[in-house]
């Protein structure tokens, strides 16, 4: 991508917002991947910046903590020369009781073009999208969705293995409460990836079998891993044990931690992924977390390129 260049296909992008992966077709996902390829070329330059969105403004509005999503969107916007307004709910007027809708209208009135938001309530970005002309990107809403994480996960797999269709993936951990799992299930299904979800019965909702036809449910990780090309561990929130959903952390580690023995059950060369933040020594053993199979650093790095691609597509690529 040359400075300020516009990929020819940007004009056909049909999503003013990015709310979840259920509205993304395979051609949509491929368009994000191809645009992210162009953004990676920009990121490989000595000066990682193009003037494409000079004069545009991207706001990040986070009602929950974040390192990766927020920082990578802010870097992505700056790499495209957009201005960035960075807000945490705790230090915004939300702390004084301002409603989400009023906050959206306020940002729109100031001339913000795109709002990247994370909110503890599932569905909050949909409400926001109904009440503003700004583009809304969901940076994670409750247990519901984390579409940009799913897109960077798909991109990272495709980059390392050269394809998505026909691969076998295992997603292991707290499936019930995971917005990352839900968004990946839609994205992987659209991309032709065959998925098994695996976890303790209390964190593996049977309703997933109906909601995601074709997805296999398995409580035995050794069985689930057989022949897997991709193993994605999810972050385990320690509150789940307090809520009685896990007998003990030690038992979870014994049954569901990805360690070298378990990884040997997967396909040779299988990738290990984690959206972060990792509870070191819980979801992954240190040898796996930092080993050759780990894709975690690439996931983080690709987050910038994929989020540049999404901003590029939503803002129209015209600059
Ligand atoms: N994967 C992810 O959403 O990480 P952050 O919470 O750090 O943004």
- What's the token pair of residue 213? 């036809």
Architecture per CATH, domain 3-145+300-314, reads as 3-Layer(aba) Sandwich (3.40)
Interior angle at CA 159, CA 302 and CA 225, nearest 5: 100
The pLDDT assigned to 10 comes to 52
Span from the CA of 147 to the centroid of ligand 1 (angstroms): 12
Cβ of residue 140 lying under 6 Å from some atom of ligand 1: yes
- Please state, in angstroms and rounded to a whole number, the distance separating the CA atoms of residues 162 and 158: 5
Span from the CA of 8 to the centroid of ligand 1 (angstroms): 32
The pLDDT assigned to 41 comes to 97
Q: Is 220 helix (H, G, I), strand (E, B) or coil?
A: coil
Residues 223-235, mean pLDDT to the nearest whole number: 97
Closest CA to 234 of 250, 256, 260, 217: 256
Strand partners, 83: 57
- What is the per-residue DSSP string for 89-114? GGGSGGGGT--HHHHHHHHHHTT--E
Closest CA to 313 of 7, 61, 104: 7
Span from the CA of 274 to the centroid of ligand 1 (angstroms): 10
The pLDDT assigned to 2 comes to 52
Closest CA to 63 of 92, 85, 84: 92
What is the layout of strands, in order, in the sheet containing 135-141? 83-88, 57-62, 114-119, 135-141
Q: Are 59 and 114 in contact (CB under 8 A)?
A: yes
Say yes or no: domain 147-299 is CATH 3.40.50.1370.
yes
Tokens 């307090």 label which residue?
Answer: 242
Confidence of residue 238 (pLDDT cuts 50, 70, 90): confident
- What's the token pair of residue 39? 């953004």
- Please state, in angstroms and rounded to a whole number, the distance separating the CA atoms of residues 240 and 228: 27
| Residue 9, pLDDT above cutoff 90 | no
- What's the token pair of residue 194? 């065959």
Ligand 1 pocket test: pick from 147, 277, 295 the residue with the most ligand atoms within 8 Å of its Cβ: 277
Residues 80-101, mean pLDDT to the nearest whole number: 93
> Where in the chain is CATH 3.40.50.1370?
3-145+300-314, 147-299
Q: How much of the chain exceeds pLDDT 70, in percent?
A: 96
Dump pLDDT digits (tens) for 241-294: 778 888 889 999 999 999 999 999 999 999 999 999 999 999 999 999 999 999
Distance between terminal CA atoms of the chain? Answer: 14
The pLDDT assigned to 310 comes to 98
Cβ of residue 119 lying under 6 Å from some atom of ligand 1: no
Cβ of residue 196 lying under 6 Å from some atom of ligand 1: no
Dump pLDDT digits (tens) for 149-188: 999 999 999 999 999 999 999 999 999 999 999 999 999 9
Main-chain phi, psi angles of 276, to 5 degrees: 80, 160
Span from the CA of 69 to the centroid of ligand 1 (angstroms): 5
Cβ of residue 139 lying under 6 Å from some atom of ligand 1: no
Task: Give the mean pLDDT of the chain.
Answer: 94
- Please state, in angstroms and rounded to a whole number, the distance separating the CA atoms of residues 136 and 50: 23
């Amino acid at each position: 991508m040359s400075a300020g260049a516009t990929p020819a296909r940007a004009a056909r992008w049909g999503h003013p917002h990015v709310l979840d992966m259920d509205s993304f077709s395979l051609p949509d996902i491929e368009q994000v991947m191809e645009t992210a390829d162009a953004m990676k070329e920009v990121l490989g330059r000595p000066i990682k910046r193009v003037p494409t969105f000079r004069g545009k403004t991207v706001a990040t509005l986070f009602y929950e903590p974040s390192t990766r999503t927020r920082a990578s969107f802010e870097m992505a916007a700056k790499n495209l020369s957009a201005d960035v307004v960075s807000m945490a709910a705790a230090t915004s007027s939300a702390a004084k009781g301002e409603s989400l809708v009023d906050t959206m209208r306020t940002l729109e009135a100031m001339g913000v073009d795109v709002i990247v938001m994370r909110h503890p309530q599932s569905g909050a970005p949909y409400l926001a999208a109904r009440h503003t002309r700004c583009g809304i990107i969901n940076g994670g809403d409750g247990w519901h969705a984390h579409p940009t994480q799913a897109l960077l996960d798909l991109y990272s797999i495709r980059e390392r293995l050269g394809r998505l269709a026909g691969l076998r993936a295992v997603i292991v951990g707290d499936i019930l409460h995971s917005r990352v799992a839900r968004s990946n299930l839609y994205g992987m299904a659209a991309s032709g990836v065959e998925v098994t979800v695996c976890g303790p019965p209390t964190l593996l909702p049977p309703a997933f079998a109906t909601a995601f036809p074709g997805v296999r449910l398995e409580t035995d990780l050794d069985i689930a891993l057989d022949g897997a090309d991709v193993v994605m561990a999810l972050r385990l929130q320690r509150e789940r044990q307090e809520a009685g959903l896990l007998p003990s952390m030690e038992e979870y580690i014994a049954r569901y931690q990805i360690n070298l023995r378990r990884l040997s059950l997967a396909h040779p060369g299988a990738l290990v992924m984690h959206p972060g933040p990792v509870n070191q020594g819980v979801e992954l053993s240190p040898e796996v977390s930092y080993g050759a199979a780990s894709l975690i650093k690439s996931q983080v790095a690709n987050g910038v390129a994929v989020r540049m691609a999404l901003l590029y597509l939503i803002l129209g690529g015209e600059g």
